[in-house]
């Protein structure tokens, strides 16, 4: 569960975000579009893609790459970008349900393996994640129906509801391929449907992400939920702070430069940024903050 203190932080940031974004939807569209290569890079890197963020940007712009890249990695980048753009543009009409999820999965896996795109595991299609064996194909439909129903009827705060959904979704592992990426797409669809901006779960911090799943696999579900709720909280706070800064029209400076104007060290400010106790955010891995 998200702590009451953090629930209050998110509520206040969302209130300011909603207030500032009036008549500025075009700016938010641009911010979302600019973030897509970074979001695609991070989500694919978590799944062991070898692409750099620069190569991801080049692929999405249909530019030539200086090294040989597998066709699979090219489609992984292009398809995930397409899925991300799709949920941004269609957030109002898309429902958070199995039908939408299967459509997104089909878009994600198209041209990679069309035989498994847009469908659950079936027959003898079992998957293993480390030492954990996911539920049998016969169980998936019912498990997913229950999961979406539980999310719809969950009366906890939205961050905890999304965290609980994601942990159990990855536990079910309903697809042969693409579970992590679709799971993270669904996180953003859920946030968008609740009038929040999207978030980026970063490859550089995947150890915390995986640690939550390990706790969940070891039946420490409450601790896993608390840990993953905090991960989403930090990323959502950062995303809100970024958009609020742009909507205010504040000047952007790096935390390194910001530190030069203060009596506080760069490392101290970066630690505060990571804890989201200052309104800092990252762009392509560089910490920045808005100044008046």
107 in any annotated domain: yes
Q: Judge contact between 100 and 91, C-beta under 8 A.
A: no
Whole-angstrom distance, CA of residue 101 vs CA of residue 116:
14
Q: What is the pLDDT of residue 263?
A: 87
Examine residue 143 and state whether it is found in any structural domain, yes or no: yes
For residue 81, tell me if it sits in a domain.
yes
Cα 128 to Cα 123, 132, 171, 210: the distances in Å are 15, 6, 10, 15
- Per-residue confidence in pLDDT tens, the chain, 292 aa: 899 999 999 999 999 999 999 999 999 999 999 999 999 999 999 999 999 999 999 999 998 887 889 999 999 999 999 999 999 999 999 999 999 999 999 999 999 999 999 999 999 999 988 788 999 999 999 999 999 999 999 888 999 999 999 999 999 999 999 999 999 999 999 999 999 999 999 999 999 999 999 998 888 999 999 999 999 999 999 999 999 999 999 999 999 999 999 889 999 999 999 999 999 999 999 999 999 8
Q: Are 51 and 59 in contact (CB under 8 A)?
A: yes
**Could you tell me if residue 22 is inside a domain?**
no
Q: What is the pTM of this model?
A: 0.95
Domain count, the chain: 1
Residue 33 resides in a domain: yes
Residue with structure tokens 């760069």? Answer: 266
Work out the angle at residue 162's Cα, subtended by the Cα atoms of residues 283 and 26, and round it to the nearest 5 degrees.
45
Cβ atoms 140, 127 nearer than 8 A: no
- Report percent pLDDT > 90 for the chain: 90
154 in a structural domain: yes
In a domain, residue 24? The reply is no
Contacts for 225 with CB less than 8 Å, ≥ 6 apart: 1, 160, 163, 164, 167
Query: Is 159 inside a domain boundary?
Result: yes
Which structural domain range is residue 118 located in? 29-239
CATH number at residue 111: 1.10.3290.10
Residues composing the chain:
292
Q: Are the C-beta atoms of 286 and 254 separated by less than 8 Å?
A: yes
């Amino acid at each position: 569960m998200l702590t009451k203190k953090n629930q209050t932080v998110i509520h206040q940031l969302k209130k300011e975000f909603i207030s500032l974004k009036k008549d500025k939807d075009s700016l938010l569209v641009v911010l979302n579009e600019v973030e897509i290569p970074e979001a695609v890079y991070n989500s694919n890197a978590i799944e062991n893609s070898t692409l750099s963020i620069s190569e991801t940007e080049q692929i999405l712009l249909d530019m030539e790459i200086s090294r040989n890249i597998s066709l699979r990695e090219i489609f992984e980048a292009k398809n995930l970008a397409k899925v991300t753009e799709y949920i941004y543009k269609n957030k109002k009409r898309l429902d958070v349900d199995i039908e939408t999820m299967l459509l997104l999965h089909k878009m994600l896996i198209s041209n990679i393996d069309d035989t498994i795109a847009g469908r659950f595991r079936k027959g003898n299609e079992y998957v293993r994640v480390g030492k954990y064996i996911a539920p049998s194909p016969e169980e998936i439909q019912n498990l997913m129906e229950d999961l979406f129903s539980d999310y719809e009827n969950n009366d906890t705060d939205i961050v905890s509801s999304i965290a609980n959904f994601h942990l159990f979704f990855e536990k079910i592992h309903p697809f042969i391929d693409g579970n992590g990426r679709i799971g993270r797409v669904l996180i953003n669809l859920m946030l968008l449907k609740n009038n929040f901006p999207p978030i980026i779960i970063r490859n550089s911090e995947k150890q915390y992400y995986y640690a939550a799943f390990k706790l969940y696999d070891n039946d420490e579900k409450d601790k896993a939920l608390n840990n993953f709720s905090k991960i989403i909280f930090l990323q959502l706070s950062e995303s809100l702070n970024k958009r609020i800064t742009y909507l205010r029209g504040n000047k952007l400076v790096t935390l390194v430069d910001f530190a030069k104007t203060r009596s506080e060290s760069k490392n101290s400010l970066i630690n505060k940024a990571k804890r989201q106790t200052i309104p800092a955010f990252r762009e392509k891995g560089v910490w920045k903050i808005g100044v008046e």
